[in-house]
Amino acid sequence: MKLKLHVWRQKSPKAQGKMTSYDVKQASPDMSFLEMLDVLNEDLAQKGEDPIAFDHDCREGICGSCSMVINGQPHGPEQGTTACQLHMRKFKDGDDIFIEPWRAKAFPVLKDLIVDRGAFDRIIQAGGFVSVNTGGAQDANCIPIPKHNADLAMDAAACIGCGACVAACKNSSAMLFVSAKVSHLALLPQGQPEKTRRVLNMVNQMDKEGFGNCTNQYECEAACPKEISANFIAKMNREYLGASFFSQEE
């Protein structure tokens, strides 16, 4: 296949970026999208040009590193798929493909397609955990959990923290990411003692990081490579409302 790529190139965080075009002369339909970029990068490196920088690691769709907007869609056109698991057979010979980084105030560009997603870690620091130290846990089967709740918690916990939800949202909202963690822990008995402060602190941190609000467009759900349901946002809103009314005085 022959392709024309248009890629966001930005040398450093403060540098001015721009779209640059490249011809890919030989792509195979069996290649993954990132392998197609590897081939282009080999070509650039050979010519003495700076290869396109992009985050990637496991290339199995689970680490959450890869992060690029392909033809306007985070992770590209295939539903429920990360960019690393997207294959070139999804495209046609002669296609123009536009590749950009996640665009959000809270995710500043470091170089080309690489952004800083440290904001997500800081949201987890604000409350996305159960405060148990190592060593004192009771026997695991002392906490029976209805299968339905455990399965639902697992559906929320499947989030890979890639940030596609933010990139897809016109408000750059992180509600899907935050609600997945709030819901995962709120659905389990282990998460109950801290559920009030967890949701308040995480939402507070989310706002501080500069993410926008949710206006119910569900673009996040459509873009999510793990198909996390937007129902969790509703759950988080209920948790937040409850916590705001009934939170204890510290």
Partner 1 sequence: MKLDAKIPSGPIEEKWNNHKFDLKLVNPANKRKYDVIVVGSGLAGASAAATLAELGYNVSCFCFQDSPRRAHSIAAQGGINAAKNYQGDGDSVHRLFYDTVKGGDFRSREANVHRLAEVSVNIIDQCVAQGVPFAREYGGLLDNRSFGGAQVSRTFYAKGQTGQQLLIGAYQALERQIGLGRVKMYTRAEMLELVVDNGRAAGIIVRDLATGEITRHAGHAVLMATGGYGNVFYLSTNAKGSNVTAAYRAYKKGAGFANPCFTQIHPTCIPVSGDYQSKLTLMSESLRNDGRVWAPKNKGDKRAPSQIPDAERDYYLERKYPSYGNLAPRDIASRAAKEACDDGRGVGDTGLGVYLDFRDSIKRLGKHTIQERYGNLFHMYQKITAENPYEMPMRIFPAVHYTMGGLWVDYNLMSTIPGLFVLGEANFSDHGANRLGASALMQGLADGYFVVPSTLSGYLADLPRTSIATDTSEFKKAETEATDRLNQFINIKGKKTVDTFHRELGKIIWDRCGMARNKAGLEKAISQIPALREEFWKNLKINGTGSELNQELERAGRVADFMEFGELMCRDALAREESCGGHFREEHQTEDGEAKRDDENFAHAAVWEYKGDTAIPARHKEQLEFENVKLATRSYK
Tell which positions 39-58 bind partner 1, by CB under 8 A: 39, 42, 45-46, 48-51, 53, 55-58
Tokens matching residue 46: 């050979």
Instruction: Give the nearest distance from C-beta 220 to partner 1 in angstroms.
Output: 19
Site residue total, partner 1 (CB under 8 A): 78
Is residue 234 near partner 1 by the rule CB under 8 A? no
CB of 94 to partner 1, least distance (A): 20
Among 92, 145, 213, 238, binds partner 1 (CB under 8 A): 145
Told to check if 241 binds partner 1 by CB under 8 A, we report no
According to CB under 8 A, which one of 128, 175, 199, 229 is a site residue for partner 1? 128
The tokens for 200 are: 């308040």
Rounded CA-CA distance 77/81 in Å is: 9
Q: Report the site for partner 1 in 86-125 (rule: CB under 8 A).
A: 87, 89, 110-111, 114, 116-118, 120-121, 124-125
> Cβ distance 203 to 243 under 8 Å?
no
Task: List the one residue from 14, 18, 138, 248 that touches partner 1 (CB under 8 A).
Answer: 138
3-state helix, strand, coil in the chain (%, to 5): 40, 15, 45
- State which of positions 192-221 bind partner 1 (CB under 8 A): none
- The contacts of residue 74 (CB under 8 Å, 6+ apart) are 67, 68, 102, 164, 167, 168, 223
**37-45, 96-104, 166-174, 213-221 -> range binding partner 1 (CB under 8 A):** 37-45
Question: Taking a C-beta distance cutoff of 8 angstroms, is the pair 180, 228 a contact?
Answer: yes
Q: Which region among 97-105, 126-134, 217-225, 242-250 touches partner 1 (by CB under 8 A)? A: 126-134
Among 21, 96, 105, 154, binds partner 1 (CB under 8 A): 154
Helix (H) or strand (E) holding 181: helix 175-186
| The one segment of 83-91, 171-179, 213-221, 227-235 that binds partner 1 by CB under 8 A | 83-91
Question: What are the residues whose beta carbons fall under 8 Å from the beta carbon of 8, sequence distance 6 or more?
Answer: 17, 18, 19, 99, 100, 101, 112, 113
Stretch of residues binding partner 1 (CB under 8 A), selected from 69-77, 152-160, 170-178, 234-242: 152-160
User: Could you say which of 93, 135, 246, 250 contacts partner 1 (CB under 8 A)?
Assistant: 135
Residues in contact with partner 1, shown as a per-residue x/- string from 158 to 187 under the rule CB under 8 A: x-xx----------------------xx--
Binds partner 1 by CB under 8 A, chosen from 6, 9, 59, 103: 59
Q: Which residues contact 118 (CB under 8 A, 6 or more apart)?
A: none
> What is the rounded CA–CA span in Å between residue 156 and residue 151?
9
Q: What are phi and psi of 24, to 5 degrees?
A: -105, 115
Residues 234, 61: Cα–Cα separation, whole Å: 26
> How many H-runs (helices) and E-runs (strands) does the chain carry?
8, 7
